[in-house]
Structure 1
Amino acid sequence: MRKVAVVGAGMTPFAEHFALGMKDLLPMAYADAAHSVDKGIEKSDIEAAWFGAMGTTDGFPSGVLADSLGIPDIPVTRIENSCATGNDAIRNALYGIASGAFEVALVMGADKIRETASKAMLWEWESASRDMAWDYPLGVVSPAGFALHVNRYLHESPATREHMAMIAVKNHRQGANNPKARLQFEITIEQALEAPTVVTPFGLYDCAPQSDGAAALILASEDAVDRYTDRPVWVRGVGLGLDSVMHQHKIDMTAFPATTRAAKRAFRMAGMTPADVDVAEIHDYFTGIELISYEDLGFADRFEGYKLLETGETSVGGSLPVNPSGGLKSKGHPPGATGVAQCVELFDQLRGTAINQVENARVGLAHNIGGPSAVSAVTILEGP
């Protein structure tokens, strides 16, 4: 397969965009990405698009993208894979270019859920991505489903709610100066621990805010990359992993096998190991997910992820900064856009232009998990 690079990346702020629809957000994100292309790009250069979206109140997603960007002459493929949607869209676009079918492609992710009609759609997503025999009828929607995992993890490991609070504090601190993050303020350990309970063991500050937003990446083949930049960010590895949907079928509730499977595939494709990663954007829809994912991604031994927090390794300035953007926890979580936005952050990190720049960052990893824990996607990027 041919090598594939990211040559442009951009996104909208993640927020409550009550006055803006998908037809507004998509052109905003594309314009931001096109502006970042060093040598410029025309829409006529784009030969195909992949659109990650859980759904839209504006109409048929692929048609909305083609219409709002004025690109009806190219194929647009809609990807939906729960919260792993964004990174899965990147995976599909990579194969389209690497195979030789296209030279330049657009990857976009977007969702709009902070309005009445979309809140109803959110519950439709919940029912569509959970087991309908047991989980959903019993109320095991996203917070409850992940709470089952994290409760068991806290029971079997030395980790505590204080370690989860440390993740919340870290990600709020790192997102406080991100102009595109929804929650631009810091919190304390005490605030995190004393916040109202959402579902045990999650307090309010353990949960990411559902948000509206869009993100875009422009990908090019190794044969075309020089037309657009002398500083490409290469897509070195991608992986998708699956696991049982029904919680009663999961062998071990203290880990996410989907993440382990996705990571192994991505690292094998990249010819790398977890030790090669300099910066990561990890799915922290709930703080406990980030903690467990340290281990599933290979950054820590089993039940020892908490040690990375105690030594400050996952903060900016540590050996493996995690979520320097603020993560989902601070930045927000429009499901279709999240994985693409993670790679927007890594694009900036690996080119040395990020808000919370990680010194000498060369390799970045993006990770999502969803469904609620039945699918995971991992993308590994390498800087110029």
Structure 2
Amino acid sequence: MRDTYLVGAGQSDYGAFPEESYRSLFRTAYEATVESAGGVDADDVDEAYVGTLGVGGRQLGLSGPAVTEHVGLRGVPCTRVENACAASGYAIRQAVMAVRSGMADLVLAGGFEVMTDSSSEATKYWLGVSGETAWERMSGTTFAGVYAQMADAYMREYGVERESLSRVAVKNHANGAKNPQAQLGFTCTVEDAESAPAVSDPLTLYHCCPTSDGAAAVLVASEDAARSFDERIRVAGVGAASDRVGLFQRDTYTGVPASTDAADAAYGAAGVGPADLDFAEVHDCFAIAELLAYEDLGFAERGDGARLVDEGVTDLDGALPVNTSGGLKSKGHPIGATGAGQAVEAWKQLTGDAGERQLDDPKRGLTHNVGGSGGAAVVHVFEREDAPEPRGAGAGRGEVGR
């Protein structure tokens, strides 16, 4: 099985752009990706995978070819990937699989979404189709409501105060304020988050990510193809898993089993453990989702995730910075672009191009992308070629920051 590498990555700004279309946003991301790679001939791209939910009902059929044709990749086979919020994370996984199998040497993977041109009622409908439609969406449960149930169960089971959720928002907004492509690029305080209007108790407005327009993409190359590029980042491990779509159907409200399964597969493939990571981008659609991710990904033991944010372990200058981009909470969450956007941040950090939020010489990072409330999850481990010898898969579980 062949090694795979990222050789370029880029994204559009995330936000509300009434003057843009899904095609123009994807073009922006594609051009940024090609520029980061030092230039790419369209004829050299063998395959493309594009993730999107199709919020608002736009171009539900052939949305992949609609954007790849628009950027000049005519004749390149393109497959649309739909796995709710994990769509482009899975698109990257498909690209890695295509290269590892020998079917392709250079593959474009990315995603897009336009979410701000629909009414709030219509947007809630499109978000809801990623839940269990018969018993969650059709009974009136929103995604904020689903994650509020998770937050309530977690806080009660482990004695965690809501202030820990607010600290997640404060941290991610502090990082997003250093990211010129973030949608909500401003700072906030714990008091701001605690006193904000309730969305679904115990979640306030500051505990919820925005709806966003945006696109992101990466180029995945074989080892031979990667030699012709100035920068290359190894895809050390990939893991993915699925679970019951409805929260009420699963065995736990205080964890996302698909995330744990995906992480274990990625760690095993990469031969690393949580203690080998220098940073992580995790799926924080709601603040509680980040705390659960700390535990699902092995950064903390069950019930101990709040400690990481309370003690600053996951701050930009902490032992394991999490969501240096600002995360979904501050950077934004254009559903189909989110997973690829996380990989863009990993690329920037590992190539030293993250600007004000640049970490000190990171060698290895992880991205974690979840679909719905946990019906699907995908995890990637990326590393520089000068990354230190890992301690081994499973090493360091629950030890980060101790």
Cα contact 1:113–1:122 (8 A) shared by 2: no
In the aligned structure 2, how far is the partner of 1:55 from the partner of 1:69? 19
The equivalent of 1:343 in structure 2 is 343
Counterpart secondary structure, 2:175: helix
Cross-structure match for 1:192: 193
- Structure 1 CA distance, aligned partners of 2:352 and 2:334? 26
- Which residue type is aligned with residue 221 of structure 2? A
Deviations 1:21-73 (A, max 9, x none): 011111111110111114x3111110110001111655231221232112121
Q: In the TM superposition, what is the alpha-carbon distance from 1:125 to its structure 2 partner?
A: 4.5
Report if aligned partners of 1:178, 1:325 keep a CA contact under 8 Å in 2: yes
Aligned-pair CA distance for 1:133: 3.0
Distance 1:126 1:90 in 2: 24
- 1:154-165 correspondence runs (5 A): 154-165=155-166
Counterpart pick for 1:75 among 74, 77, 81 = 77
Once the two structures are superposed, what CA deviation does each residue of 1:352-383 show, in whole Å capped at 9, x if it has no partner?
12121111211111112122221111111002
Alpha-carbon separation, structure 2, partners of 1:111 and 1:278: 30
Quote the residue 1:284 is aligned against: 284
Q: For the residues of structure 1 that align with 2:261 and 2:141, how far apart are their CA atoms?
A: 24
Partner of 1:22: 22
For the 8 Å contact 2:105–2:225, the answer to whether it is kept is yes
- How far does the alpha carbon of each residue in 1:172-206 deviate from its partner, in whole angstroms, 9 at most, with x for none? 01101211001111001101000000001110000
CA contact (8 A) 1:146 1:373 kept: no
User: Structure 1 CA distance, aligned partners of 2:113 and 2:53?
Assistant: 7
CA distance in 2, matches of 1:11, 1:232: 18
Contact 1:145 1:372 in 2 (8 A): yes
Q: Does 1:48 align with 2:38?
A: no
Give 3-state SS (helix, strand or coil) of 2:224's partner.
coil
Superposition map of 1:230-241 within 5 A: 231-241=231-241
Deviation at 1:246, TM superposition (A): 2.6
> How far apart in 2 are the matches of 1:196 and 1:117?
20
Task: State the distance in 2 between where 1:28 and 1:132 align.
Answer: 34
Residue 118 of structure 1: how far off its partner (Å): 9.4
Residue of structure 2 in register with 1:172 after alignment = 173
> Does the residue aligned with 1:184 lie in a helix, a strand or coil?
coil
The 1:312/1:124 distance shift into structure 2, 3 A limit, reads closer
Question: Structure 1 residue 235: deviation in Å?
Answer: 0.7
Using the alignment, how far apart are the partners of 2:210 and 2:73 within structure 1? 32
Work out whether residues 93 and 105 of structure 1, in 8 Å CA contact, stay in contact via their aligned partners in 2: yes
Quick one: percent identity of the two aligned structures?
Answer: 39
Corresponding residue SS for 1:325: coil
Distance 1:167 1:347 in 2: 23
Residues 1:81 and 1:294: Cα distance change in structure 2 (over 3 Å)? same
Q: Deviation of residue 116 (structure 1)?
A: 2.4
Name segments (4+ residues, structure 1) moved above 6 Å. Answer: none
| TM-score for both structures, normalised by structure 1 | 0.96
How far apart are the structure 1 equivalents of 2:69 and 2:3? 30
Cα drift, residue 85 of structure 1: 1.0
Letter in 2 for 1:53: T
Q: Give the TM-score, by structure 2 length.
A: 0.92
Match of 2:145 in 1: 144
Query: SS state of the match for residue 223, structure 1?
Result: helix
* Whole-angstrom CA distance in 2 between matches of 1:112 and 1:122: 14
Query: Shift of residue 87 of structure 1?
Result: 1.0
2:372 maps to what in 1? 371
C-alpha displacement at 1:121, in angstroms? 5.9
Question: For residue 87 of structure 1, what is the aligned residue in structure 2?
Answer: 89
1:171 to partner: Cα distance:
0.4
RMSD of equivalent CA atoms: 1.5
The number of residues matched between the two structures is 381
* Local SS of the residue matching 1:227: coil
**Distance in 2 between residues matched to 1:31 and 1:248, nearest whole Å:** 42
Letter in 1 for 2:52: A
Aligned counterparts of 1:366 and 1:188: Cα–Cα separation in 2: 26
Aligned partner of residue 135 in structure 1, secondary structure: helix
Structure 1 position 243, deviation (Å): 1.7
**More off after superposition, 287-296 vs 240-249:** 240-249
Aligned pairs (5 A) from 1:76-155: 76-116=78-118, 120=122, 123-127=125-129, 129-155=130-156
CA distance in 2, matches of 1:299, 1:176: 25
Report if aligned partners of 1:112, 1:118 keep a CA contact under 8 Å in 2.
Answer: no
SS in 2 for 1:312: coil
Aligned to 1:6: 6
Q: Is the 8 A contact 1:168 1:206 kept in 2?
A: yes
**Mean Cα displacement is larger for which, 295-304 or 361-370?**
361-370
Q: Which runs of 5+ in 1 are unaligned?
A: none
Describe the SS at the equivalent of 1:110: strand
Whole-angstrom distance in 2 between the partners of 1:338 and 1:357: 20
Tell me which amino acid in the other structure corresponds to 1:213.
G
In 2: Cα distance, 1:350 partner to 1:44 partner: 28
SS of the residue corresponding to residue 210 of structure 2 reads: coil
| CA distance, structure 2, for counterparts of residue 2 and residue 105 of structure 1 | 14
Partner of 2:400 in structure 1?
none
SS at match of 2:79: strand
Structure 2 residue matching 1:88: 3-state secondary structure: helix
Q: Which residue identity does 1:123 align to in structure 2?
A: Y
Q: Which amino acid aligns with 1:187?
A: C
The gaps in structure 2 that reach 5 residues or longer are 386-402
State the AA in 2 paired with 1:49: A
1:219 positional shift: 1.1
